[in-house]
Amino acid sequence: KLSVRLETVAKYVPRDSRLADIGSDHAYLPSYLAKNGHISFGIAGEVAKGPFQSAEKNVMAEGLTEVISVRMGNGLEVIQPGDADCITIAGMGGSLIASILEDGKEKLVSVKRLVLQPNINAIAIRQWLVDNDWELIAEEILEEDNKIYEILVAEKGDPLRPYRDVPFETGLLVGPFLLQRKEKTFKKKWELEKKNWKRIYEQLESAASSVEADEKKQEVAKKINLVEEVLDHEE
Ligand code: SAM
């Protein structure tokens, strides 16, 4: 049985996709989709030997070796242009996900959809999407095992369209669709972030004053303000 987190990622993989799951670890996601007949071809990419071997073992055990190709390599190195039309990258930090996309840009020509699940720092992905003409088309937020996860879905298009009805900077930070929905889990996430940043702010205040500390303090204060606006503007 798949986690709710990966099930939600799976929900956004179009039927009959040629899927590349990068950082697949045990290959649960492509295996699940292949077993359900949702995809007829998948690639499970892994940079680390242990997870790569575990992916191979699971794909073999499930009898899916004809459908899922397990490949060892860094990021999008494991695919050739044209191999995949949907890419999933889940369970890593947003900056790492953004750098995998950036480093493998030339592999994205045939890719129609990206489904990305950053554990932290989703803003790095939203920024990358805007800079590279990918349009965010959906966002999800969910809580499982006391952790809050975001899922970002993007297709080639007008990268600024989702930000038309929201303040751009706030939209980048918290997600333009999530900002408009303001679900319970969303509010919980940003209450927690706010608390965390307030603690950091207080630490910076009690530290010896320096140019760096002042700059950092301003940065943190700005984030606190953005989040307070998001949380306080309640209808
Ligand atoms: N995607 C699975 C999930 O969401 O359950 C596994 C997530 S696991 C926490 C992250 C995996 O990404 C690890 O197995 C790690 O080896 C792999 N990884 C990290 N950087 C990578 C890269 N540059 N290229 C391919 N895999 C990478």
pLDDT digits (tens, 9 = 90+) for 5-31: 999 999 999 999 999 999 999 999 999
Asked whether residue 173 is assigned to any structural domain, the reply reads no
Domain boundary among 116, 133, 163: 163
Residues 93 and 206 grouped into a single domain: no
- ipTM, two decimals, is 0.99
Asked whether residue 59 is assigned to any structural domain, the reply reads yes
Residues 28 and 111 grouped into a single domain: yes
Of all protein residues, the one whose alpha carbon is nearest to atom 7 of ligand 1 is 91
Test site for ligand 1: of 4, 6, 25, most ligand atoms within 8 A of the Cβ: 25
Residue 171 has pLDDT above 70, yes or no: yes
Residues 110 and 149 grouped into a single domain: yes
CA neighbours closer than 13 Å in the CB half-sphere of residue 175: 27
The tally of domains found in the chain comes to 2
Of all protein residues, the one whose alpha carbon is nearest to atom 8 of ligand 1 is 91
The whole domain housing 137 covers 4-163
Q: Kindly state if the Cβ of 142 falls inside 6 Å of ligand 1.
A: no
Residues 122 and 17 grouped into a single domain: yes
The CATH number given to whatever domain includes residue 90 is: 3.40.50.150
Residues 159 and 189 grouped into a single domain: no
Residues 129 and 208 grouped into a single domain: no
pLDDT digits (tens, 9 = 90+) for 100-111: 999 999 999 999
Asked whether residue 174 is assigned to any structural domain, the reply reads no
CA neighbours closer than 13 Å in the CB half-sphere of residue 6: 17
What are the φ/ψ torsions at residue 210 (nearest 5 degrees)?
-150, 165
pTM of the complete model: 0.96
